[in-house]
Chains A and B, each alone.
Chain A
Amino acid sequence: MSSQTEIVPDSIPALNKMFRFQWEKAQDCYVLLYPEGMIQLNGPAGEILALVDGQRNVSEITALLQAKFADAGDISADIIDFLGDAHEQHWITL
């Protein structure tokens, strides 16, 4: 659980190079591909990872999503939770 607490607004997540992230038309969702496997991402998870590029920090990612989904209320805690999970799964590095 310690990795969850490491996500702070200044953290800059990057995709673990073990994974490839792409949109799959046939699945109608974003997926993470890795050796001989695939993780289908739900809508929010895909939207967040689509902005993870090793350059933007968590505040910038949050601001972009907040602007894109203006009706969703405050989503910053959800984003941090997801990035914590993603870090624990080794999908991203910090």
Chain B
Amino acid sequence: MSNTGSPCNGQPTQPNLGAVESTKTHGKPLWLLAELTYKCPLQCPYCSNPLDFADFAGELTTQEWLDVFQQGRDLGAVQLGFSGGEPLVRQDLIQLIGGAHEMGYYTNLITSGVGLNERKMAEFHQAGLDHIQVSFQASDESVNSMLSGSEKAFQQKLKMAREVKAQGYPMVLNFVTHRHNIDRIDRIIELCVELEADYVELATCQYYGWAYENVEQLLPTRAQLERAERITNEYREKLAAAGNPIKLIFVTPDYYEERPKRCMNGWGEVFLTVTPDGKALPCHSARMLPIEFPNVREMTLQQIWDDSPGFNHFRGLDWMKEPCRSCDEREKDLGGCHCQAYMLTGDAHNADPVCGKSPHHDLIVQARENAEHVVNNPEQFVYRNEKNSRIIAKG
């Protein structure tokens, strides 16, 4: 259930905020995800940034971000994620951390670790950074390099993960898993234990953005997934018995479900993303939808949250078509993910095809069957970089 605001594929489907039973939504944006930049030194083929990211120029300034943070805080936001792209690319990150901390946010830096060093980490801590999440592509250097498009990244990540703990931060390690690395889940978990992670997200790819472009080379088989889940459960028992407080969070890909996820715990219910150029979104994949979303340069966050057509679009149940409209589970899953419905069926108002009741469910079944036959071939990956982004954007 508990996925997070990780950008590294991280469709933040169910932020922890929604998963904690004692937490009720108050219909305010508790979680503000600040995508500070689309720039990133890595090229992960499952990045959740939009395919056409290279087309969006004009990043918000320091002052504009601080204004957005204050407005979010006034609306009740308490968790702030610095993400991207790679947020470390922003030279004013320390000012943004310091400002957000003073406003009372719990501040999360979601980073690849590339561009981080001991000194910066200590300065961030002093400025009030609460937590660092380091994303890994794999448990070993060669796979990590292949997936990130960087030779040196793996050693740097290990070093930074050790430093995060040495400096007393809580640490979440995020591994996006897929057919190329999921069979090494035992090694991944052992690496996380060795690095003394507090939380580990073993997040099977969610197929948005670049990951959708690469779904064939990413989607694991059912057997791979079941094995990984079984091994994870074995480790959970073993670690708990040994008194290790590490928490392993296993996120299954919804392609192997028969009912859709309650996406974002409800559209415009707890989560608000602001893109590098100021677009406000109810989830960080939503930019792909043919819906007009407001910009923080043109409206206040309160207007955006309460009044904008974009944020109201999928609130309530009135937008639903069949089979959702008359479904007795409609209030449970709210029709699932609108981006997935849009990508697979061309209409975001359709039921999420993950649902067995969707007339488009055969697309998911086909993808699963396809996964049984695909030959692993990293050369087929479309890597997330500016060149590919421009080619894709031109279509």
Contacts and interface: CB of A to CB of B under 8 A. Distances in A.
Contacts of B15: 36-37
A69 interface: no
A33 B106 contact: yes
A80 interface: no
A24 B106 contact: no
**Chain A interface helix/strand/loop/mixed:** strand
A37 B26 CA distance: 15
A37 B20 contact: yes
Interface stretch (B75-83, B176-184, B317-325, B340-348): B75-83
Interface in A36-94: 36-41, 90
Given A27-B26, A27-B76, A31-B78, A37 B170 contact: no
Contact of B172 (A35, A38, A41): A35
A26 interface: yes
B151 to A, nearest CB: 29
A38 B23 contact: yes
A40 B22 contact: yes
B71 to A, nearest CB: 13
B104 A36 contact: no
A17 B16 contact: no
A86 B19 CA distance: 19
B4 interface: yes
Contacts of B22: 39-41
A35 B164 CA distance: 13
Contacts of B75: 26
A7 B4 CA distance: 33
Contacts of A18: 170, 198
Interface string B62-82: 000000000000011011010
A36 B4 contact: yes
B2 interface: yes
Contact of A34 (B81, B104, B170): B170
Contacts of B17: 36-38
B78 A36 contact: no
Interface residues of B, number: 32
Contacts of B4: 35-37
Nearest to B17: A38
B198 A36 contact: no
Given A22-B104, A27-B76, A36-B108, A90 B245 contact: yes
Interface residues of A, number: 18
A69 B26 CA distance: 29
Interface string B348-360: 0000000000000
A26 B26 contact: yes
A63 B98 CA distance: 38
Contact of A38 (B79, B81, B104): B79
Interface in B19-42: 19-20, 22-24, 26, 28, 30-31
B335 interface: no
A34 B199 CA distance: 10
Of listed A17, A22, A33, A35, residue having the most chain B CB within 10 A: A35
B78 A35 contact: no
A37 B79 contact: yes
Nearest to A37: B16
A30 to B, nearest CB: 12
B28 A35 contact: no
B131 interface: yes
Contacts of A41: 22
A33 B172 CA distance: 14
Contacts of B81: 36
Sorted nearest first, the 10 A-B pairs with minimum C-beta distance are A26-B76, A37-B16, A33-B106, A35-B131, A36-B4, A18-B170, A35-B172, A36-B16, A40-B22, A35-B170
Interface of A: 17-18, 20, 22, 24, 26-27, 31, 33-41, 90
Given A37-B4, A38-B106, 7 more contacts: A18-B198, A31-B78, A34-B131, A36-B108, A37-B2, A37-B17, A38-B16
15 contacts: A18-B198, A24-B76, A26-B76, A27-B78, A31-B78, A33-B78, A34-B131, A35-B4, A35-B198, A36-B79, A36-B133, A36-B172, A37-B15, A38-B17, A39-B22
